[in-house]
Amino acid sequence: MTPQNPEYPARLDIAYPQRLNRLLPLVKWLLLLPHFLVLWLLGIVVLVVLAISAVAVLITGTYPPGMFNFIVGFERWRLRVGAYLLLQTDRYPPFSLDDDPSYPVRFAVDYPQRIARWRPLVNWLLVIPAVIGAAVLSVIASLAVLIAFFAILFTGRYPEGLFSTVTIAERWAARTLMFSYWMTEDYPPFVWA
């Protein structure tokens, strides 16, 4: 069973699938090529939006809501594609920044009313321990996906322990990214959840 999200402004939930298509893992990466192209192009826009939002936070101490929502939407889309690629769902991800309550991958970030003006200048340094933790979990998750690939091919099921491990690694990465983008002042918790 996947542990519940810890109390943190950025939350990722992925519904556990009871059954998965046994042959779909062989071609998922190919089916995602259009998403990769669009996300790559949107990623360039995200860099521009981050630069502008950094200036806005430095001057006003607030994150512009439109920019905040755009970055959260981009990350939501990226996480849906990631969950599909990591074999956690067979539902093809929508081409959308919007939240879809019926999709098995859900991502939300609480909007902060105030952000310390100095955050854009030093968050890159503060986030280093969390990045190291997320990188270690990413390696573990990669091994879990490799094992799950064969389990799905033979049984049509994603072993729950492996599913939980991959979900937790994705949560760590998402929380770390939101902190590094100064979208929250709360440091990502070092918990297995």
CA atoms within 13 A on the CB side of 2: 22
Q: How many CB atoms lie within 10 A of CB 41?
A: 10
Query: For residue 5, what pLDDT is reported?
Result: 80
Q: What's the pTM value of the predicted model, to 2 decimals? A: 0.93
Express each pLDDT in 1-29 by its tens digit: 667 888 899 999 999 999 999 999 999 99
Structure token digits, residue 106:
């859900």
What pLDDT does 192 receive?
85
Model confidence at 115: pLDDT above 90: yes
Mean pLDDT of the chain: 95
CA dihedral of 71, 141, 128, 38, whole degrees rounded to 10? -30
Q: What is the model's pLDDT at position 139? A: 98
Q: In this predicted structure, what is the pLDDT of residue 193? A: 81
Calculate what percentage of the chain has a pLDDT beyond 90.
94
Residue from 31, 1, 32 nearest 15 by CA = 1
Q: What is the pLDDT of residue 1?
A: 61
* DSSP collapsed to 3 states, 3-24: CCCCCCCEEEEECCCCCCCCCH
Q: How confident is the model at residue 87 (pLDDT cuts 50, 70, 90)?
A: very high
Say if residue 189's pLDDT is above 80. yes
Cα 5 to Cα 24: distance, rounded to the nearest angstrom: 29
Residue 26 to residues 55, 152, 190, 193, Cα–Cα distance (Å): 44, 10, 34, 29
Strands (E), the chain: 10-14, 105-109
